[in-house]
Every structure is written in structure tokens, then in C-alpha cells.
Amino acid sequence: MQPTRHDKLKTIGIAVFDGFSLPEIARIVESFERANDLSERGRHTPDCYRVHLLSSLGGRIASSSAVLVWTESIETGRQLDDLHALFVAGGPGVSHALRDDVLLAWLRRACALTGYVFPVDEGHLLLDAAGFAPYTGSPPRMSTLLAQFVPNPFAEIIRRNETNNVSEKIQSSARWLEANGHLQVGVDEAARMAQMSERNFLRRFKAELGVTPSDYLLYVRLDMSCRMLAETTLPVGSIARRCGIGSGGRLAKLFRKHLGKTPTAYRANHRRPGA
């Protein structure tokens, strides 16, 4: 996975073995690809990611579903130099991987040098065997882990209002849009709140926050929708109405456009424990 933007390039390692479980690993790779795509379009943080699949010997590795993936060898040692995070796969092949002394020795070194280490399902058995225990209790859900690296892009846009380069009037109008996003409000009302002509307001808002007021209002509503999908069991249609979007059909259309998935799929991937 090769990002095309390099201002904050971070290396992600995923340790796999013969018989690893592919679905969760594919989800991790897809999440970082999505983060790179959002970054390229200016809808996310400047961070970009390069993902490496790593195995003891490198070359082709068969997943538990017999799908072959290409990996790099951990023996090169190069991956330890700038590894930002390491995910350790699980799957039925873990019992054999536990007898791989080369892999376990590498995990000991990697865990000592890497800022973030996350087991995937049975991957915790490999970390235990390597003498590394990142969690004292139950490990967090994968969606919670990935959210550390790939938060919803709408929240990132809204946080721009907290920077020092935004004038007081534009900050106040943006906060007003955030507070009233669940209502049927318009840009003309936000301009009046800022005590500016609508034309000047549109120009200043776009110049300072990088998006138009109408887009900002949409992102406020989508951010609210993301949080409610993750934190509640309310139906999608009810969430859409509570967030000022109107209907579940329109919310689904917006999610497919901006996130490439349906609200139901987003909820399945981001449901908070206890929700």
C-alpha cells in the first residue's frame, strides 16, 4: 500500500503466519487505505500510512481460507527502524506460529521498539509467548483501536475551528453551526450571527476553515450521526432526523459518498462496548 503524500508518513507493520485469519487483517489494511484516501482529498489529518505485511521468511503466506498474500521477511530488520504501530494476526495457524522461534524473537525486539502494539484475536497468544502483555484486561475492540489512527474525517474538519488561525467571528459562527446542526438552519443565519454580510461571510469562512459554511454544517451533522451510530441503538432513520439530515435514505447516500459504506456498516465497525 503506497501513499502518494509524504508529509507525515507512518509505517504500520502486520505480523502474519501460515494459517492466519484474513478478514480482520484485510479490514486493518482497508482502514489505512481509507485514511490515505481521505488525506489525499484534504478530508483528514496530514498523516499517511505505509502498511507492511511481515512474516518469518517473507514471500507467499497462505491464510486460513487458503488465500495467498505476499509478505516481507522480518529477518531484514529494516522494519524495526521506524515502525509506528504493529498488529499481530490471529487465526488457527497460531498454534504452529507459537513454535516459530524466529518470529517470537523478532516480536520481543519489535515490541520493545514500537510505540503501539495490538494483538488481533489469537495474536495475543504470540505476544504472551514473546513476554509482552499490552493489556491487563480484555483487549479493546478492533474498531476502537483503528479509531486511534483513522478517526471519522468529519470530526477532524470540525477541530480546525479550535486553531489559533481562525478569527473570533468565524469561530463563533462555526460553534453556532455545531450547536444548531440538528435544526433546519441556514448559512444566512450563521452570517447574521457573525454580523457579516453573507458574501463576506462565505469568503472568510472558506478562507479560514478550508470548507464552505454549508459543507461545514453538513460535516457537523455527519459527525453527530457517526457518534450516535457508535454510541446508541437508535434506528438509522431516527438518527438522521435527530441530526438534521431528514431521512435514513439521505443519510445512507451521504455515508456512501463520504465514507464509502452504509450507516449500518459503519455502526457494525464502530459500535462502542455497552452500546
Residue 228 sits in a domain whose CATH number is 1.10.10.60
Higher pLDDT, 162 or 15: 15
Segment 143-158 mean pLDDT: 68
CA dist 128 and 82 (Å) reads: 23
Q: Cβ of 201: how many Cβ atoms within 10 Å?
A: 22
Question: What is the phi-psi region of residue 87: left when phi exceeds 0, alpha when psi lies from -120 to 50, beta otherwise?
Answer: beta
**Polymer length in residues for the chain:** 275
What is the pLDDT at residue 44?
47
Q: Per the domain annotation, does 246 fall within a domain? A: yes
Q: Per the domain annotation, does 68 fall within a domain? A: yes
What is the pLDDT at residue 138?
60
Query: Under 8 Å CB-to-CB from 97, ≥6 apart: which residues?
Result: 17, 18, 19, 103, 126
Total domain count, the chain? 2
Same domain, 88 and 205: no
Q: What is the pTM of this model?
A: 0.59
Query: Under 8 Å CB-to-CB from 157, ≥6 apart: which residues?
Result: 43, 209, 210, 211, 216, 219
What is the pLDDT at residue 98?
96
Instruction: Tell me how far apart the terminal alpha carbons of the chain are, to the nearest angstrom.
Output: 33
CA dist 30 and 15 (Å) reads: 16
Same domain, 91 and 208: no
Same domain, 78 and 39: yes
Domain end: 90, 118, 142, which one? Answer: 142
pLDDT digits (tens, 9 = 90+) for 241-269: 999 999 999 999 999 998 888 999 888 87
**126 close to 98: Cβ distance less than 8 angstroms:** yes
Q: Is the pLDDT of residue 82 over 70?
A: yes
CATH of the domain at 92: 3.40.50.880
Higher pLDDT, 123 or 154: 123
Q: Per the domain annotation, does 190 fall within a domain? A: yes
Give residue 122's domain range: 8-142
CA dist 188 and 173 (Å) reads: 11
Domain end: 142, 172, 197, which one? Answer: 142
Strands 83-88 and 47-55 turn out to be: unpaired
Same domain, 173 and 196: yes
Same domain, 171 and 211: yes
Same domain, 245 and 184: yes
